[in-house]
Amino acid sequence: MVRVTIKGGVWRNTEDEILKAAVMKYGKNQWSRIASLLHRKSSKQCKARWFEWLDPSIKKTEWSRDEDEKLLHMAKLMPTQWRTIAPIVQRTAAQCLERYEYLLDQAQRRREGLDETVDDPRALRPGEIDPNPENKPARPDPIDMDEDELEMLSEARARLANTQGKKAKRKAREKQLEEARRLASLQKRRELRAAGIEVRRYFNRKRGVDYNAEIPFEKQPASGFYDTTIEIFDPEKIDFKRLHVDNRNLAAKEENEQRDRKKDNAKLKRKKDEDLPAVIMNENRLEPIKKRSKLVLPAPQISDMELEQVVKLGQATEIAKQQVSENGTIATETLLGDYNLTPDLNKIRTPQLPSTQDSVLNQAHNLNILSTVQTPLLGGSNTPLMDVSNEKARSAAGLIMSTPNTLFNTPYRTPVNATNEGTTPSIHGPSTDFNSGGISVRDRLNINAEEMLFDDQLKQREVKQQLRHHLSRLPKPKNDYEIVLPDTTDQTNDDDQMDTINIKDEDQADIDQRKLEEKRRKQHEHFKRQTQVVQRNLPRPNDINLTILRPANAEGPMTDLQKAEELIKQEMLVLLHYDALNNPVPNNSTSRNKDFSTYLDTHPREEFTDADLAAARALLESEMNVVKKTMSHGDLNLDSYSKVWDECYSQVLFLPSKNRFTRANAASKKDRIESAEHKLELNRNLMALEAKRAAKLEKKLKTLLGGYQSRGQALIKALNDVYDQIDQTHVEAKTFELLRQNEVLAIPKRIESFTEDVARQDERERELQRRYQELVEERNHLLEQQ
């Protein structure tokens, strides 16, 4: 039976990549050729996949409120015309339809009072097939592809890699055949020539000019010699101004402008002749053309110098407040007021907006109701719709509150206060307008009374009237006196109490200082009561070994020394648990605190007084002196102590299998090997931890000091270059100095040699002149004899 393949289904990542590469090669019009690369997809599906998902211009972000409002409005104007709505909303048609259905579902759920988290009924159930897989994300490729997919992938790779089409292959093949034909003809002529047969080559005469054999429009130079001075190139005589773009075709440009000007004048004249009423109406227009006047702003009321003074005063106030807060007391801090913020903060707070309904959901609700409404032929009342235009009307009427802007207030309006007379009273009571041009009251210390804001004479008059009014209410004097003698006993007791009680109130700073000193003293006393290990910050074990005690079922009675040793071990365990719970080791986990608390509950730590501790220290000191004197021990230095410590520590061996320490001489060879392996593993872990920490620090230091290191390397390189230059200069200086010394020594010899040569030359010239004179005389004598 023939296998039937139905094209379609979910898109995979491989198919998307092949489709992208095919669109890059064949364009967005040859969908049949593109679909031939995908065996499971048709050309229509490939086109839909590109324009619904893979096109880079598709917007896949979340829908905004403005887009929802625009979508609902356009759906109301043009229902079911999603191809027309899509470019307006700047989305695809499928995205618009899906979003529109989602908004209708939300409005339906809200109307029915359903939970919005309920599953979407439009979502696909298990086993259902997606009807629109083109606008869904691609499914990842499986690890083991079947043979059909691998064959499709290899075929697409081969076809897309072929950049030469059929025509290019045909041209290459024809060129190869022509070359083979030429080589065969050449070989044939060579063989005939070798055999003594000359073959003439006949060429077809071409009509016209043969550009391969002749030079068109060639001018033969004149025979003989001729002047070539005009061919000499002089670069200084070139006129570059003549070659400028503005100067080229200047005459033609002026002619074109003049011709266009004549055309415009003729056109204007013809228009006036043909449309005379419009010209008359334009000339008789009453509205003059207003030119925009120049913007004139008023002069600033505050100069730059005054602004700088205000800023300096504010900085001085902040510095004073900071010094008081750091070094002063609360009483001093209360004497400084805060003059930075505006007193009435309610004026500039963002008001709470009134509770309004969501216009997008209301509009979606109306569209959902209108889509399900019945025909009006049945009669009945109209379907109630939610009023969406009410919010627009309220916003237009100014009923919706907005954030106030203090820049739009009138600067010089009359301030509204409770003392103004003759003004319309406010229903909200008196208030002070701090945005007006009046004085801004910022008086936290009550230095400025309210009356100081008015006229001084009016203030004095009001004060006098108030004083007279209050004095008039005083009762009349009765002039009755009664003398009462004080009790002496009570007086003496009061004096004693006053002597014992300090009348002067103590300052809060002194109280805080005294409490702090008391707290430090208690902390110091508590620290002194801790063990010497905590006080000296000595290393402590992470795990506490409880097996150091003698087992309860041990055989044989204990001696007094063994009993004392057991008591010391018990006390040591109690102190170890107490320090592990109250003074834990840094970087130690707190998971075992419960075990420490349980042990301390069963074995409580005994508290001792300072006298008991001093007596114990004295007893230990005396015992140590006796031991040192008996065993002739002197004061150990650090080297001797380190040597003894290393010897004692080398005798202790940790057994990981038993999780305890033992003596090295009592351990077997296997225990020693296990201990060495455990120690090696600990060192490896510590080394890895330190290496990781060092890598982090190195990375951090590289980030912090990378620029400085590169700068330092550059400076070091520059210094090395300077040093090399200095060394080279020194070598050259030494060389020239040596040359100078050699020249100084050689110059006298050279001058002497030159002097001798000159003297020898002078002597030779004199000899030659003498010989010449003798010959001349001899010639003259011979001539006279003849």
Q: Does residue 352 sit within a domain?
A: yes
What range does the domain containing 184 cover? Answer: 172-202
Same domain, 22 and 103: yes
Residue 494 is predicted with a pLDDT of 54
Same domain assignment for residues 94 and 178:
no
Same domain, 187 and 135: no
Q: How wide is the angle at C-alpha 26 spanned by C-alphas 25 and 32, nearest 5°?
A: 140
The secondary structure element, H or E, covering residue 705 is helix 669-785
Q: Mind giving me the DSSP string for 530-586?
A: S-HHHHHT----SS--GGGSPPTT-SSPPPHHHHHHHHHHHHHHHHHHHHHHHSPPT
3-state secondary structure 709-775: HHHHHHHHHHHHHHHHHHHHHHHHHHHHHHHHHHHHHHHHHHHHHHHHHHHHHHHHHHHHHHHHHHH
What integer pLDDT is reported at residue 272 of this predicted model?
Answer: 73
- For residues 369 and 383, is the Cβ–Cβ distance under 8 A? yes
Q: Give me the numbers of helices (H) and strands (E) for the chain, helices first please.
A: 23, 2
Residue keyed to tokens 């900071």: 322
Burial of 657 (0-12, 13-18, 19+ CB in 10 A): exposed
Cα gap 442→450, rounded to integer Å: 12
- Please give the DSSP secondary-structure letter assigned to residue 91: S
Shared-domain flag, residues 85 and 182: no
Count structural domains, the chain: 3
Alpha-carbon span 773 to 779, nearest angstrom = 10
Query: H-helix or E-strand containing 186?
Result: helix 166-194
Same domain, 118 and 192: no
Residue 754's pLDDT is what? 94
- List all residues 6 or more positions away from 703 whose beta carbon is below 8 Å from its beta carbon: none
Q: Do both 117 and 72 map to the same domain?
A: yes
User: Which CA distances in Å does 582 have to 528, 569, 575, 576, 597?
Assistant: 15, 20, 10, 10, 10
- Could you tell me if 195 and 315 lie in one domain? no
Give a yes or no: residue 21 inside a domain.
yes
Q: Is 475 helix (H, G, I), strand (E, B) or coil?
A: coil
Whether 566 is covered by a domain: the verdict is no
Note whether residue 177 is domain-resident: yes
Tokens at residue 100, please? 């529109």
The string over 92-107, giving b where at least 16 C-beta atoms fall within 10 Å of a residue's C-beta and e elsewhere, is bbbbbbebbeebbbbb
Task: Look at residue 338 in the predicted model and tell me its pLDDT.
Answer: 63
Residue 533 lies in a domain: no
Last residue of a domain, one of 107, 142, 163: 163
Cα–Cα distance, 192 to 115 (Å, whole number): 102
Q: Are residues 465 and 324 in the same domain?
A: yes
Instruction: Looking at the structure, tell me whether residues 114 and 148 fall in a common domain.
Output: yes
Residue ranges for the chain with pLDDT beneath 70: 1-6, 115-119, 163-165, 202-203, 239-250, 275-291, 324, 326-358, 374-381, 387-455, 479-505, 552-556, 587, 636
CB atoms within 10 A of CB 731: 10
Cβ 575 vs Cβ 605: under 8 Å: yes
Q: Which of 107, 139, 163 is the last residue of a domain?
A: 163
Q: Write out 209-265 in H/E/C secondary structure.
A: CCCCCCCCCCCCCCCCCCCCHHHCCCHHHCCCHHHCCCCCCHHHHHHHHHHHHHHHH
pLDDT for position 759: 94
Q: Are residues 59 and 187 in the same domain?
A: no
Does 79 map to a domain?
yes
Token representation of residue 738: 């040596």
Residues 59, 146: one domain? Answer: yes
Nearest-angstrom CA–CA distance, 533 and 357: 71
Residue 711 lies in a domain: no
SS3 label, residue 75: helix
DSSP H or E stretch at residue 652: strand 652-655
State how far Cα 544 lies from the chain centre: 50
Cα–Cα distance between 482 and 204 in angstroms, integer? 162
Q: Let me know whether 92 and 128 are in one domain.
A: yes
Last residue of a domain, one of 183, 202, 221: 202
Please report the pLDDT score of residue 766 as a whole number.
94
Query: What is the rounded distance in angstroms from the CA atom of residue 385 to the CA atom of residue 379?
Result: 17
Task: Specify the 3-state DSSP secondary structure of 653.
Answer: strand
Assigned domain for 46 exists: yes
Residue 292: alpha-carbon gap to chain centroid: 47
Radius of gyration of the chain (CA): 57
pTM for this predicted structure: 0.29
